[in-house]
Amino acid sequence: MTTLPSSSPDLPASLADAAFHNERVAARRMAAREGLDEAEALLRVMRQSATAQGLAELADLLAARAKLKRDDAERRAAKLAARGEKVAGIKARARPAPQPGAWQAWFDGSAHPNPGRLGIGGLLLGPAGERIEISARAGHGNSGEAEYLALLALLEAAVAARPGVLAIYGDSQVVISDVAGGAGAKGLEQHRERALDLMAQLGKSGRVTLHWVPRHRNSEADRLSQQAIASWGELE
């Protein structure tokens, strides 16, 4: 075993890096109480920790702490990698290639402040160049209500346009999950029932699909919802 002398120039930095929060606190209190340098006080506290853990040398304690940090860093890296793979998988599945002849639509809702004034936006594009834009004030409420009202307005426009196949995109995971899986978002039950009714009017299962997209891929609908918010003007 190698003993780390208290005079080692790297010792204070090594101790500070390896010390736990409670050990650093104890060292500061000892330094204040006994008039010691904080590095010397931390050295004493760490030697006490090594003794308490049955280690013969302080060097063994520092090596053990270094291994704990390496193991923790590896676990964090693995967790982040797994999360990245999951997010990449979601993004890959989020927006499949549209079927030939399909219509595509995007929706977004905003509340300023939240809760506050609502603005909704939607864009409906047809295979023959059809373009229907929605930008409207939608009363007062929260952002979840705004998102749902935007989807409802889009579905109503789609019913009027009568598309054969329709793929709808939005960046609200709450609304999309609620409609697709009946998640039961509290306070939005009536909106969900209306959305399901409109989707049923649009055709048989599989002819209307909902897909989540990240916010940056929903820019047109966001622009239209923000345009609606701006139309409110200044609050009186």
**pLDDT for the residue numbered 23:** 86
**pLDDT for the residue numbered 95:** 54
pLDDT over 90 (residue 48)? no
Distance CA(181)–CA(191), nearest Å, equals 14
Q: Is 67 exposed, middle or buried (0-12, 13-18, 19+ CB in 10 A)?
A: exposed
Q: Report helix, strand or coil for 102.
A: coil
Tens of pLDDT along 134-163?
Answer: 999 999 999 999 999 999 999 999 999 989
Tokens of 126: 């047809």
- Across the beta sheet with 208-212, what order do the strands follow? 131-141, 116-125, 103-112, 166-170, 208-212
Question: Given pLDDT bands bounded at 50, 70 and 90, which one contains residue 194?
Answer: very high
pLDDT over 80 (residue 172)? yes
Of the chain, the end-to-end C-alpha distance in Å amounts to 77
Section 20-30 average pLDDT:
87
Q: Read out DSSP for 198-233? A: HHHHH-STTSEEEEE--GGG-HHHHHHHHHHHHTT-
Q: Report helix, strand or coil for 96.
A: coil
Section 119-125 average pLDDT:
97
Mean pLDDT of the chain: 81
Residues 110, 229 contacting (CB under 8 angstroms): yes
Q: Which of 59-73, 79-93, 106-120, 175-189 has the lowest mean pLDDT?
A: 79-93
Domain annotation for the chain: domains and CATH numbers: 11-93 (no CATH), 103-230 (3.30.420.10)
